[in-house]
Structure 1
């Protein structure tokens, strides 16, 4: 039944969802008009907000590009390719492939969102080389695991309010992760989603005649171990004496960071781990550079689109549009229903401000006073905003770009399946926030 229900959604999205670049242009114009019509801002003021914020995500854009590039370089090493292929060979049927890639992505995303995006996409490609399965649903299943990241160890909102000196400390104090990430209702919600999300993907498996397959030869990773030596400089490029000490030094630092300093996972650490492992496992500079040349081709979408989202976020925040949207939902709430309305409003705002930390900065000044005035549970309201941010990522191409680049697909190839996940899991999360 779910397969039949998903089919029209897949066709609808395939027909009408534009390229993510076109979508970000449409969102830009929508935000311009909304800011002028609802916030009484002049066109010049809106353009000024947009222009000043346009380059606000340059650091983050580079981090996301490195997620793609470093993950690809690591996956192209012989050792990792063999490990992925050996694990993928355990899947004997399309159903097993869908369940496996979803569970791996969920586990990896709960640990760290950047890690989950790359691992899920790479494992999907390995499975497609081993099992004849609908490639669109396989990649969509890999991306669907991203749903639980904000309820996991790297959730930016619960980690922010647990950190000394956060901007709302005077209002709410320090809220320990035992009340957010490791609270009973959040752990129960994560457990339910870990059980339900793979089953939804499995239930959407199309029949063989409706499936879209990919030739495994097209997914084969090119051997990067180039051996030509024609110039004296070639011997340096093929030397293990240069790359190995640097790579091992990087891994040594990470060991010190984790074991001595007690550091945790963040995007920079994940990228460093991928990069230094890739340097060591490629062994020579030339092998790594050959892999890099292949990896960088998929990063065009990240490079061109992220500045536009930075501009959209600036208009949303500076014009007061995001705060007005949040306040509109809060006006409908009671103490018991505020987490639900916080979740819904966060899901809507996330379509225009696809950044967990940035979204909290926008919504906290509205949600926290409302929670205190109504006597609502502040940690639950904060997690409602976090889950709303994670929920609509399912249909926000901003976060899917690295996955799509690794898999070689377009947004419309997977978003129909993600839309079905959005509809079902939205009800589950809303119920959990209201009644668990």
Structure 2
């Protein structure tokens, strides 16, 4: 039955899912029309909201590009490549490869979402070389499903924001420690449940051997082959100087020690990127190796660069027109103290289709959801994490965050989204039930 559902999902997605860029154009027009039709905004007002907000995510967009680039650089460094090659040899059958890539990508995504996306895709390529009979589309899809747990992990935007002194909702809810969100029992149980169930689901979606779409392992190996280092001029010595790279890398590590020990500061996106950048510089050894990795990583950042301004415009239209509040209120009106986390989760999943940013989405939904939680007597940390999990949940069918992994794999969104749709259905049941009933 699951294979039949998967085939139907894959067929539907291959025929009807457009390129993510087309998706963002369509969403822009849909939100524009909805603002006029539902919120009675004039066309001129909607144009103003859109244009005024178009560049609001430049800083965040650059941070996301750096998450991708630094994550790729670190994950593609020689030590990590050797580690992934060693782990890949643990799999000898297609089924083992599917389960292994799902588990590894989930663990990596729980540590940091950008690192998880890149590690998952690179590990899938290694597995495809070790187990050439595995369906490559499902292998990459399984790597991407590890992204489900990122908002329940160490880089959770919502969890880190409300744990930071001075956040925008502090007057209402105070500072909420991560012990009540990321490290709460209900959140850890959710992560554990998904870690157990989703690898099994991915394994069950494996197509019969005669329908598997495979990739030539020799082609993958050739794409990853390193060109020999040649020293023909004095500049080459600098570009391949291990001493130079390590000296600068140690400077970066010295600042990290100062930041956490002397400064006693908290984790944030900039310091994560800083740490990944300088670890990547050190682990690549030679500056030329580091620069080659950066050039490869930037190829996958095109979607982020061009689409984030459009999403900023969509987000501005959603907020300024009142659409986001109306959408959230619609779910709140139909809930009670037991079902409110579920409806918060569902509303967040829908809003995520329009605002694919965990931090941005929290800014959109927090005013409505926190007021409603207080009226209904629902836990604020659970409400906040319901928004977080809803954001992570529909990433399975919101192709934006799949772009980096797809670029590394050399596939299109339609190649994996049919499998991701099945994972969306299964994980939605786990998340919804967990948010309502897990202690």
- CA drift of 1:5 comes to 1.8
> C-alpha separation between the residues in 2 aligned to 1:108 and 1:418?
19
Q: What TM-score comes out, normalization by structure 2 length?
A: 0.93
- CA drift of 1:149 comes to 1.5
Q: What TM-score comes out, normalization by structure 1 length?
A: 0.94
> C-alpha separation between the residues in 2 aligned to 1:402 and 1:81?
18
Distance 1:160 1:293, change over 3 A: closer
- CA drift of 1:255 comes to 4.1
Q: In the alignment, is residue 314 of structure 1 matched against residue 316 of structure 2?
A: yes
Q: In the alignment, is residue 124 of structure 1 matched against residue 124 of structure 2?
A: yes
Distance 1:231 1:181, change over 3 A: closer
Matched with 1:242 is 244
Matched with 2:172 is 171
Contact 1:155 1:386 in 2 (8 A): yes
Root-mean-square deviation over aligned CA pairs:
2.0
- CA drift of 1:312 comes to 0.8
Contact 1:115 1:270 in 2 (8 A): no
Q: Which whole-Å deviations, capped at 9, do the CAs of 1:70-115 have from their partners, x for residues lacking one?
A: 3333344433322211111111111111111111111122222222
Matched with 2:184 is 183
Contact 2:106 2:116 in 1 (8 A): yes
Distance 1:122 1:347, change over 3 A: same
Q: Aligned pair count? A: 436
> C-alpha separation between the residues in 2 aligned to 1:393 and 1:279?
31
Equivalent position to 1:341, from 331, 340, 343: 343
Distance 1:3 1:64, change over 3 A: same
Matched with 1:141 is 142
Q: Which whole-Å deviations, capped at 9, do the CAs of 1:224-269 have from their partners, x for residues lacking one?
A: 4553344433333233343231123223333444555555654434
Distance 1:165 1:60, change over 3 A: closer
Q: In the alignment, is residue 102 of structure 1 matched against residue 98 of structure 2?
A: no
Matched with 2:22 is 22
> C-alpha separation between the residues in 2 aligned to 1:135 and 1:265?
36
Tell me the SS of whatever aligns to 1:343: helix
Tell me the SS of whatever aligns to 2:165: coil
Tell me the SS of whatever aligns to 1:335: coil
Contact 1:151 1:186 in 2 (8 A): yes
Unaligned runs of 5+ in 2: none
Contact 2:75 2:118 in 1 (8 A): no
Equivalent position to 2:400, from 383, 395, 398: 398
What is the correspondence of 1:191-206 to structure 2 with a 5 Å cutoff? 191-206=192-207
Unaligned runs of 5+ in 1: none
> C-alpha separation between the residues in 2 aligned to 1:93 and 1:333?
46
> C-alpha separation between the residues in 2 aligned to 1:78 and 1:232?
25
Contact 1:76 1:224 in 2 (8 A): no
> C-alpha separation between the residues in 2 aligned to 1:324 and 1:98?
41
